[in-house]
Structure 1
């Protein structure tokens, strides 16, 4: 569809992260595209959400923020936990939604995590040593020290309620029954060396719920935190996605 309305990428972060993870990507997309990196309730600078911690409640939060921002056109971009929330919101097909991009997304079905992994993560809340250990586990490519510090700081400022709610409930939710029909253009971007969820997980658990022909792009040698580890590649894929589907302003 040809349009001159500006396009905004509305970006949702990973569990125990914040909207700050999109800063490098935003800089690479400016000035052609706006990037709105939001903090999910209980993470980053956002207080615990009044509406609860379910996937639907988080989708309500983001829908309200989009409405308040009066965005004429936007692409939802969800990373990990944010991917599941973006899927739930995209299924509502609200006015202005132009596309959906998922980065290493938590699948619409229950996230693959063993009970032992879940218990270890529950016990890690608020512990600097555990936050550093998590960083070393999920980040594969070298990142600048300022990013390293931000990743650890975001982990430690997550509220206990939000931390536990995702591990015990949100990650286990099955929202697959709410996703038909998804009609907007979609894209999955995966880290080829992601130690949390391999690209095959996305192909098996998420791709079947997206429109036929949705591509799965793999960034070789990148881990779970793609906006930090591979901002140049992520920005290029977002720009290509917008261009391919004639989403750029003035087209």
Structure 2
């Protein structure tokens, strides 16, 4: 069956699930397929279920499809917690157990990919397969390699910083640990024009950046508690390293890379994944950091065919 993509303006109604006293928003489309596992789509930093709209509408004719807002993002609660891979991994595991009711294929973009990898490694009975789209997450640093793609930053530090650079780096870090600086930075980053400018840097096809996309990313940033989430995500210690998680992984793995992503070197990062997990499938696409939204006409058929090949 040919996979099609509906216009991004197609509204998809969602509902709420209660977890640990918090309201968690999710979207469900399609019907259960006896011989096919359901799909669970997980967004990246600052995004939500809205970011998967083109994929949900393209995939639900063939699968039961779920998309979820991670705690702290989208329409989910923005509680004052310590956010990170362990929390989101638990959230996804219990969602699969309590709402989906069977093993699922997890697909995650950026930070959402890291969350998917966490749950797949730590709760293997919940996951039938993992799809990572420009996934974030730190690898262990060894004497022969450096890790430019840490969860909180995609900027590679100098290999041998000078004393002045060390002093400036410490000063900047201290400044942004101050509540006023955090507040001002957050106020700046959530403005529509700043969001659009950031998207223009990480999307290869600029026509995919619509007013609707900008509005969908901006809206949750004005919810009560959004500042606390922002501060927590960037101040909480990094979670388990990606290579450690890959060593625990037992399910099929599909990697989809937007090669034009300026935040990570897709080819270089691909080699790190292959070093720790040999049995994987991967594709390199002419797209940026969010290939599922930028080239859904390519991502949807690849994802569909891969899932059918492993069931």
Q: Provide the TM-score with structure 2 as the length reference.
A: 0.68
Contact 1:132 1:152 in 2 (8 A): no
Contact 2:114 2:137 in 1 (8 A): yes
- Aligned-pair Cα RMSD in Å: 2.8
Partner of 2:3: none
Listed one character per residue, the Cα deviations across residues 189-231 of structure 1 (whole Å, up to 9, x for unaligned) are 0102111112124214434333x131221112x1112121011
Tell me the distance in 2 between the aligned counterparts of 1:50 and 1:5: 41
Measured after TM superposition, the shift of residue 65 of structure 1 is 1.4
Give unpaired runs (5+ residues) of structure 1.
none
- The more displaced of 158-167 and 4-13 is 158-167
Are 1:165 and 2:232 an aligned pair? yes
Where 1:216 maps in the other structure, the secondary structure is strand
Listed one character per residue, the Cα deviations across residues 131-190 of structure 1 (whole Å, up to 9, x for unaligned) are 2221211122121635433454357347122223223336x4343434423111001101
Tell me the distance in 1 between the aligned counterparts of 2:304 and 2:268: 25
Measured after TM superposition, the shift of residue 27 of structure 1 is 1.0
Partner of 1:244: 309
Partner of 2:297: 232
Partner of 2:96: 66
Larger radius of gyration: 2
Tell which has more relative contact order, 1 or 2 (C-alpha 8 A, sep 6+).
1
Contact 1:135 1:152 in 2 (8 A): no
Are 1:145 and 2:203 an aligned pair? no
Measured after TM superposition, the shift of residue 108 of structure 1 is 4.1
Partner of 2:76: 46
Where 2:247 maps in the other structure, the secondary structure is coil
Tell me the distance in 2 between the aligned counterparts of 1:218 and 1:208: 18
Give unpaired runs (5+ residues) of structure 2.
1-32, 140-149, 158-168, 177-181
